[in-house]
Structure 1
Amino acid sequence: MKNLGARTGFLITLGLVSLCLAPCQAQTQGSGTKSTTASAIFPNGEKGSAQTFTGTVWVQNLVATDSIYQLASGSVTFEPGARSFWHSHPSGQILLVTDGVGYHQLKGEPRQTIRKGDVVKCPPKIPHWHGASADSPMTHIHIVPNTEKGIVNWLQAVTDAEYHGAR
C-alpha cells in the first residue's frame, strides 16, 4: 500500500511537470517567426482605416463603451512601420504595450521608444501618435476613460520625418 501511494505521487508529479513544460515548448517553437499571432493575447480584429492609420494596423475592440463603465478599450497591432495619425482624447488614454517595440510621441516632445511591458499615459487633449518601430511589430491595449466626454479626435497623418524622430 505504501508503494502504491509513492507511485501515485510520482505519476501526479510527472503529469504536472509535463503540463508545465508543454507551454514552454510551444513558445520556443514559435519564437523564430516574425508574426505576433502565436503570442497574441487577443485576435487581430479588423484592419484599421487609412483615414486614421498609416500602414497595416489591426484593431480589436475589447470593451464597448457604455453608461456603466464609461470607458473604451481595445487591442491594436501595428505591423512594422505602421502608425496612428496624430490624435487626442478628451480624457486622455492609457497604453499597455503587450508585444514588440514601437514609438510614441506627444506633440512638441521627442519621440519615445516603447516596449513590451511599458505603460504610457497620454494626457487629456494633448495630440500624440503611436505605432510600431520600422523593424518590429507592436501591440498595445488602449484604455480611454470618461467616454461621456468623447473618445478620440483624429488629426493629420504623421509625416515620415516625424516618424523617424525629427521634431
Structure 2
Amino acid sequence: MTATTDESAFAAENAFGKGEPNIAYAQYFTGDSFLNNLVTDPECVVGVHNVTFAPGCRNNWHVHHATSGGGQVLICTAGSGWYQEEGKDAVSLTPGVVVFTRAGVKHWHGAKADSWFSHIALGVPGENTSNEWLEPVDDAHYAAL
C-alpha cells in the first residue's frame, strides 16, 4: 500500500481493524490513535494490540523498562510510519517491516504526515516490566523527517 490520507482506502488494507479511540493513552500521543486488543484471553502473557495512527499522529518518546527480558516488537501491517531510537536516524515503516526495541531504549513511533499507519505491538515478557512515558516528539523534529 502506498501512503494515503484516505481513511477508506486505508481501512481496506488494515487487516486487523482500526479499533476504538485510544482514550486511555491519549495523553501520550500527538494526534488521534486507535487501539484494537487482539488477544483478550487472561492466560496470554504477551500483550498483542493493533495500534492505528491517523496521519501525523505519533506517540511520545518512551522507554520499556525491565530488569531482564522485556521490550517491544512492532509488526507493521498497513500504511506508512516512522520509528526512531534516541540518537539514531528515523526508520521508515511499511507493511512487513518488523522492529524489536530492547528494554531501556528511548524511542517513539507513529504515522508519517501523509499516511494512516498501523502496527501490531507485542509486549515482550520480562521481569519487573514497566513503561515510562516521556516528552512529546518535537513538531520541528517530526516535520524534518
TM-score, L = length of structure 1: 0.72
> Do the aligned partners of 2:5 and 2:55 also contact (CA within 8 Å) in 1?
no
Query: Relative contact order (alpha carbons < 8 A, sep ≥ 6): 1 or 2 greater?
Result: 2
> Do the aligned partners of 1:65 and 1:71 also contact (CA within 8 Å) in 2?
no
Quick one: structure 1 residues 65 and 156, their matched pair in 2 at CA, closer, same or farther if it must change by over 3 Å? farther
Which residue type is aligned with residue 34 of structure 1?
D
Return the offset for 1:77.
0.7
CA distance in 2, matches of 1:135, 1:50: 21
Matched ranges for 1:115-126 at <5 A = 115-126=94-105
Of 29, 32, 37, which residue of structure 1 is paired with 2:11? 37
Show structure 1 runs of 5+ residues with no match: 1-31
**Paired residue for 1:95?**
74
Which protein is richer in strand relative to its size? 2
- 1:144 lines up with 2:123 in the alignment: yes
- Give the SS at the match of 1:113: strand
- Give the SS at the match of 2:15: coil
Which protein is richer in helix relative to its size? 1
Return the offset for 1:65.
7.9
Return the offset for 1:64.
4.3
- 1:130 lines up with 2:109 in the alignment: yes
Q: Percent identity?
A: 37
Quick one: structure 1 residues 65 and 107, their matched pair in 2 at CA, closer, same or farther if it must change by over 3 Å? farther
Report how many aligned residue pairs link the two structures.
Answer: 134
Show structure 2 runs of 5+ residues with no match: none
- 1:57 lines up with 2:33 in the alignment: yes
Matched ranges for 1:1-80 at <5 A = 34-35=6-7, 36-48=10-22, 49-64=25-40, 66=42, 68-80=43-55
- Give the SS at the match of 1:117: coil
Quick one: structure 1 residues 147 and 45, their matched pair in 2 at CA, closer, same or farther if it must change by over 3 Å? farther
Return the offset for 1:95.
0.4
Larger Rg over CA atoms: 1
CA distance in 2, matches of 1:102, 1:123: 19
